[in-house]
C-alpha cells in the first residue's frame, strides 16, 4: 500500500506504513551507495536538537504548545531508540546532510501527527519544515549533530584508553627488574629495562588521552541558530542563546555560542578531533609493531615477550601461532589514518558560506571513534593483560650483546672500545671475555662498570676509577 505525498518537485508515492515522507523517499531512491546507515548516536543527536528547538520556540512564543509538545514527545521516543528502522538513508548522500535533517523532520512530524489523532502525511497538523524544522537549517543542524555525537562517543574511547594506560603502567612495575637489549635502527643498542619500555608506552597513551580530552572542547562551540548561512534568518533574536541553554540542560555539556558565520564553513573543530584520533592511531600502531617484533620467533626471532595465544596461526603449518591481536590493531590504525585524511580533504572543501561535506566528516569521525574504542578494548583484554616477558631470553640476549661496550667509553675511549667490539664479533667472544684477555681494565672494576642496571639510568663517572684505569694501561 502507498500514500501519496506532495513536495516542491511534485507528487511521490510513499509506503503506507512508514513514518518518513516525500523527501526521505526521494533521497533513498537517489543515494543507494554504501548500504551503511547513520550511527545511533547521530540519530539521537539530531532528535535532541529537534527537541531543544521545539522547547525553545514554545518559550519564545513562536510555536503553539499543542504542536510543540507533540514534537517534544515524538523526539523523546526517537532519543530513547524507537523508530530506528525509519532512518533509512545512506551515509553518503546529498551535501550538508539535508536528507538526514529531513528524514528526522518527517519522522518526528508523523509520530507527532499520530499522537494528535491524525494519520502519517497529515502535515496540516504538524509540518516537517514549518514546525519541526522551525528556526533551523540543515546547515546548522548537521554540524551541531556531529558535535553532540562526537561528545557522546569520545567518552567511552577515553575510558578504554585509561584502562589500557593502567595496564601498561602495571606491566612497567611488574617487569622493571628485567633488563633487555635496547635496539636502534633494528640493531643492538644500550640496555633498557622493560619497566622503562612499558612505562614509555603508558606515557604515550597518557598524552593521547590529554589530546582527545582537549579536542572535546572544540565540540562545545555551536553555530546552531545560524540557519542557512549563519545570519540567523527566520529565527527569534533570542533563539540561539535559548536553544544552547536547552541543549546544555538536556545533555549536561557546557555548550556556548560561537560565530555562526564561521562555523557554517569552518570544519577546524572536526579536524582537531580527527587529528587526535590519528595521533592515537600512530602511537598504537608503533606499540603494536614493537610487540610483534619482540614476540617474533619463537625459536628464530627475538622472542623476549610472549603474547597470548588467541587462535591457530596457519591453515597449513601446524602449531604456528601469530600475533593476531596486534595485527588487527595495525589494520584499524591504518583505517583511522585514512579516515583522518578524508576528513582533512572534506574540511578543506568548504566554499563561500558553507561546507557541504559534513555527512562524510560525520561518518568518518564516528567510525574512527568506534573502531578505536573496540580495538583498544580488544588490545587490552586479549593481548596486554596476559602478555609475559621471558626473563631468561632477555638475559641471554643481553649477555651476548656487545652494545654494553658503550659504557666503557669514559674509561678507555671510543676508538679502543670500537676495536674491542670488532674483536669480540670476529672471534665470537663475549665483550667481557675480550676485555679480560686484553687486560685493559683491572678485573676488579669490570663487574661494576658492566653492571647493566646502572646503564639504564643516568650516573656520575667515578674520576678516581678513570684515573686508576689510565695509570694501569700506562704501566702495562
DSSP annotation of 130: I
CA angle 158, 161, 162 (to 5 degrees): 90
Tens of pLDDT along 165-214?
Answer: 999 999 999 999 999 999 999 999 999 999 999 999 999 999 999 999 99
Nearest-10 crossing angle of helices 40-59, 65-79? 160
> pTM of the prediction?
0.93
Catalytic residue among 137, 149, 314, 430: 314
pLDDT at 230 over 80: yes
Q: Which of 337, 344, 392 is nearest to 368 (CA)?
A: 337
Residue-wise over 154-186: b if at least 16 C-beta within 10 A, else e?
beebbebbebbbebbbebbeebbebbbbbbeee
User: What are residue 388's DSSP bridge partners?
Assistant: 306
Q: Which helix (H) or strand (E) holds 294?
A: helix 268-295
pLDDT score at 476: 65
Weakest mean pLDDT among 111-115, 251-255, 306-310, 401-405: 401-405
| pLDDT > 70 fraction of the chain, expressed in percent and rounded | 100
Instruction: Answer yes or no: is pLDDT of 336 > 80.
Output: yes
User: What was the pLDDT predicted at 339?
Assistant: 98
**Which domains occur in the chain, in start order?**
2-134 (1.10.275.10), 140-392 (1.20.200.10), 402-475 (1.10.40.30)
State yes or no: is 314 an active-site residue. Answer: yes
Which residues are within 8 A (CB) of 253 and not within 5 positions of it... i.e. 6 or more apart? 148, 151, 220, 247
Can you give the length of the chain in residues?
Answer: 476
Cβ distance 264 to 233 under 8 Å?
no
| Nearest by Cα to 22 from 31, 34, 14, 32 | 14
**pLDDT tens-place string over residues 9-31:** 999 999 999 999 999 999 999 99
Q: How confident is the model at residue 386 (pLDDT cuts 50, 70, 90)?
A: very high
Beta bridge partners of 13: 4
Amino acid at each position: 500500500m502507498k500514500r501519496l505525498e506532495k513536495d516542491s518537485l511534485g507528487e511521490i508515492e510513499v509506503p503506507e506504513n512508514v513514518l518518513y515522507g516525500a523527501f526521505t523517499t526521494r533521497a533513498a531512491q537517489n543515494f543507494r551507495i554504501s548500504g551503511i546507515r547513520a550511527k545511533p548516536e547521530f540519530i539521537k543527536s539530531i532528535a535532541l536538537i529537534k527537541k531543544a528547538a521545539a522547547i525553545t520556540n514554545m518559550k519564545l512564543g513562536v510555536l503553539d504548545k499543542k504542536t510543540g509538545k507533540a514534537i517534544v514527545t515524538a523526539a523523546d521516543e526517537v532519543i530513547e531508540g524507537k523508530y530506528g528502522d525509519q532512518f533509512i538513508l545512506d551515509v553518503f548522500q546529498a551535501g550538508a546532510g539535508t536528507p538526514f535533517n529531513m528524514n528526522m523532520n518527517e519522522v518526528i512530524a508523523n509520530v507527532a501527527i499520530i499522537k494528535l489523532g491524525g494519520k502519517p502525511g497529515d502535515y496540516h497538523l504538524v509540518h516537517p519544515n514549518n514546525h519541526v524544522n522551525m528556526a533551523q537549517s540543515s546547515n546548522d543542524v548537521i554540524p551541531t549533530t556531529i558535535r553532540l555525537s562526537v561528545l557522546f562517543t569520545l567518552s567511552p574511547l577515553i575510558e578504554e584508553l585509561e584502562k589500557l594506560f593502567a595496564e601498561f603502567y602495571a606491566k612497567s612495575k611488574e617487569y622493571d627488574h628485567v633488563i633487555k637489549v635496547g635496539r636502534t635502527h633494528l640493531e643492538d643498542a644500550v640496555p633498557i629495562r622493560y619497566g622503562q619500555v612499558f612505562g614509555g608506552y603508558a606515557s604515550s597513551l597518557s598524552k593521547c588521552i590529554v589530546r582527545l580530552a582537549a579536542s572535546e572542547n572544540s565540540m562545545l562551540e555551536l553555530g546552531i541558530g545560524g540557519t542557512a548561512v549563519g545570519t540567523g534568518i527566520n529565527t527569534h533574536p533570542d533563539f540561539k542563546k535559548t536553544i544552547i541553554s536547552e541543549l546544555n540542560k538536556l545533555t549536561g555539556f557546557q555548550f556556548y555560542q560561537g560565530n555562526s558565520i564561521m562555523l557554517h564553513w569552518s570544519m577546524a573543530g572536526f579536524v582537531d578531533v580527527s587529528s587526535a584520533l590519528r595521533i592515537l592511531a600512530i602511537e598504537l600502531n608503533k606499540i603494536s609493531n614493537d610487540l610483534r617484533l619482540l614476540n617474533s620467533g619463537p625459536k628464530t626471532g627475538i622472542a623476549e615477550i610472549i603474547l597470548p595465544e588467541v587462535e591457530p596461526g596457519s591453515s597449513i603449518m601446524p602449531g604456528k601461532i601469530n600475533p593476531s591481536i596486534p595485527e588487527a590493531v595495525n589494520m584499524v590504525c591504518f583505517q583511522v589514518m585514512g579516515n583522518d585524511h578524508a576528513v582533512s580533504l572534506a574540511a578543506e572543501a568548504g566554499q563561500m558560506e558553507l561546507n557541504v561535506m559534513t555527512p562524510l566528516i560525520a561518518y568518518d569521525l564516528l567510525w574512527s571513534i568506534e573502531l578505536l574504542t573496540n580495538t583498544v578494548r580488544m588490545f587490552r583484554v586479549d593481548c596486554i593483560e596476559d602478555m609475559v616477558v621471558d626473563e631468561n631470553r632477555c638475559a641471554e640476549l643481553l649477555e651476548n650483546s656487545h652494545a654494553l661496550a658503550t659504557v666503557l667509553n669514559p674509561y678507555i675511549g671510543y676508538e679502543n672500545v670500537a676495536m674491542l667490539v670488532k674483536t669480540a664479533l670476529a672471534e665470537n667472544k663475549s665483550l667481557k671475555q675480550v676485555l679480560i684477555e686484553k687486560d685493559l681494565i683491572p678485573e676488579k672494576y669490570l663487574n661494576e662498570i658492566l653492571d647493566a642496571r646502572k646503564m639504564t639510568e643516568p650516573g656520575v663517572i667515578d674520576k678516581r676509577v678513570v684515573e686508576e684505569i689510565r695509570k694501569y694501561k700506562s704501566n702495562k
